[in-house]
Structure 1
Amino acid sequence: MDKFTQNSVSGAAVRRAARVVAGQPSADGAGVKIHRVAGFQFQDFSPFLMIDEIRSENPDDYIAGFPPHPHRGIETLTYMLSGEFEHRDHLGNRGAIAQGGAQWMRAGRGIIHSEMPSQSKDPGAGGMHGFQLWINMAAQDKMSKPGWRDIQPEQVREVPLDERGSLLRILAGQWQVHGQPENGPLLDAAAEAAVADIRLAAGAQIDLGISPEHSVLVYIYRGALDTGRGVVNRGNLVLFGSGESLQLRAPEDAPEQGAGMLVLHGRPLNEPVAHYGPFVMNTREEIEQAVRDYNNGTLTE
Structure 2
Amino acid sequence: MKKVIETIYGGVNSSVGDMLVNRLLPGQSFKAVGPIVFLDHVYPVTIKDGTTSIPTGEFAHPHRGIATFSYVLNGQLSHYDSKGNHDVISAGGAQWMKAGSGIMHDEKPFSQLNGDIFHSLQFWINLPAKNKSEQPEYMAVKPDAIPELQLPERAGTLRVLLGSFGTTVSPVKTYSEQFIYHIKLCPKASFTLQAKANLECAAFVPACEVMINGTPAGNSKIIIFGQHGDDLVLENPHIKSVDILLFGGEPYTEEIVSQGPFVMNSHAEIATAYREFFEGKYGTIAYR
- Match of 2:13, SS? strand
Q: How many residues align?
A: 279
Q: TM-score, normalised by structure 1?
A: 0.83
> For residue 220 of structure 1, what is the aligned residue in structure 2?
205
> For residue 169 of structure 1, what is the aligned residue in structure 2?
159
Q: TM-score, normalised by structure 2?
A: 0.87
Q: Displacement of 1:205 after TM fit?
A: 2.4
Q: Displacement of 1:47 after TM fit?
A: 1.0
1:93 is aligned, of 85, 95, 113, to 85
Q: Map 1:145-184; keep pairs closer than 5 Å.
A: 145-161=135-151, 166-176=156-166, 181-184=167-170
Q: Displacement of 1:235 after TM fit?
A: 0.5
- Match of 1:143, SS? coil
Please, which runs of 5 or more residues in structure 2 have no aligned partner? 284-288
Q: Displacement of 1:55 after TM fit?
A: 2.4
Provide the alpha-carbon RMSD of the alignment: 2.6
- Match of 2:280, SS? coil
Please, which runs of 5 or more residues in structure 1 have no aligned partner? 6-13
Contact 2:50 2:110 (8 Å CA) reproduced: no
Q: Map 1:175-254; keep pairs closer than 5 Å.
A: 175-176=165-166, 181-186=167-172, 188-242=173-227, 245-252=230-237, 254=238
Q: What percentage of aligned pairs have identical amino acids?
A: 27
CA distance in 1, matches of 2:178, 2:128: 12
Q: Displacement of 1:146 after TM fit?
A: 0.8
Contact 1:108 1:144 (8 Å CA) reproduced: yes
The answer to whether residue 21 in structure 2 is matched with residue 34 in structure 1 is yes
CA distance in 2, matches of 1:142, 1:155: 27
After alignment, is 275-284 or 200-209 more displaced?
Answer: 200-209
CA distance in 1, matches of 2:156, 2:163: 20
1:140 is aligned, of 112, 130, 150, to 130
CA distance in 1, matches of 2:22, 2:50: 12
> For residue 10 of structure 1, what is the aligned residue in structure 2?
none
Q: Displacement of 1:153 after TM fit?
A: 0.8
Query: Deviations for 1:190-215, whole angstroms, at most 9, x for unmatched residues?
Result: 32221111011244222334431211
CA gap 1:23/1:284 in 2 versus in 1, 3 angstroms: same
